[in-house]
Amino acid sequence: DIQMTQSPSSVSASVGDRVTITCRASQGISNYLAWIQQKPGKAPKSLIYAASSLQSGVPSKFSGSGSGTDFTLTISSLQPEDFATYYCQQYNSYPLTFGGGTKVEVK
């Protein structure tokens, strides 16, 4: 199975900050990488697929990059609605696997 490792596991940030989350795959996954946002008590929401493509309706303050084993999610200017947990997920091979999550908290 491909292991997905996210860092940091949590980050404290203020409104307006730029936040970067990293995700590392245990083996190469090309660009078969997605980022998913989840707010407390809510269903997950897909943000990015193919490492850098924005899901329809997702604001451009979210961006993704990377290929192979190393990936990043950047939120350019954090807003109150962005405080949530973010997961990376690989769909290169079965079983599909998720990172452990990064909780973005209010500083």
Partner 1 sequence: EVQLVESGGGLVQPGGSLRLSCAASGFTFSDHFMDWVRQAPGKGLEWVGRARDKGNSYTTEYAASVKGRFTISRDDSKNSLYLQMNSLQTEDTAVYYCARIRRGIFSFEYWGQGTLVTVSS
- Mapping DSSP onto H, E and C, the string for 34-59 reads EEEEECCCCCCEEEEECCCEECCCCC
**Binding residue for partner 1, selected from 34, 78, 84, 104, defined by CB under 8 A:** 34
CA distance 27 to 31: 12
By CB under 8 A, tell whether 86 contacts partner 1.
no
Please state the closest distance from residue 87 (CB atom) to partner 1, in A: 6
The mark string for 42-81 relative to partner 1 (x by CB under 8 A, - otherwise) is -xxxx--xx----x--------------------------
CA distance 64 to 32: 12
By CB under 8 A, tell whether 24 contacts partner 1.
no
Residue 94: which residues within 8 A CB-CB, separation 6 or more?
none
Contacting positions for partner 1 (CB under 8 A): 32, 34, 36, 38, 43-46, 49-50, 55, 87, 89, 91, 94-101
